[in-house]
Amino acid sequence: MKKILFVPHPILRQKALDLKSIEKEDILIAEEMKEVMLNASGLGLAANQIGYLKKIITINIEDKKNNFETNYILFNPKILSYSKDKIKMEEGCLSIPQQYADIERSSEIEVEYINYKKKLIKRKVKGIEARVLQHEIDHLSGKLFIDYLSSLKRNILIKKVKKLVKNKEI
């Protein structure tokens, strides 16, 4: 099983490529991603976080407080529109372990993607699902949640991750 890449790994800063068609290999990658994400207790995972530069995302959200649960795979996801309404919430990332910061994102988005059955889906999502999708779609563009922070805060978080890796704490 692939390991999650940590900052400052260069692949995390590269743009993922559109899939011309969804092949068996891509579905296998998505299944592997799902396993890695669940083992790490993540809410989402982008393919470049485990070294694949393909536009694939897996989502697994269990929000017991709001009685909401969803688990799915997105191929070639893109955000079509963002609500003007913004919400600031604490975010973390499997590629930036044990580091968190308040990030402002749109409360609702319209997203388009190809699902597991190779069907084009277009829908509006809100709340935690909208936040997770924005976070993961950013990954596909080589953007991390720490990029919304000042360079000082961003560099502090990267140094903390480097120290965790050096000390073999992660």
Active site residues: 136
Q: Between β-strands 86-93 and 56-63, what pairing exists: parallel, antiparallel or unpaired?
A: unpaired
Coil, strand or helix: which one is 119? coil
Q: How far apart are CA 72 and CA 56, in angstroms?
A: 11
CB-based contact 148:75 (threshold 8 Å):
no
Q: How far apart are CA 112 and CA 162, in angstroms?
A: 35
Q: How far apart are CA 116 and CA 30, in angstroms?
A: 9
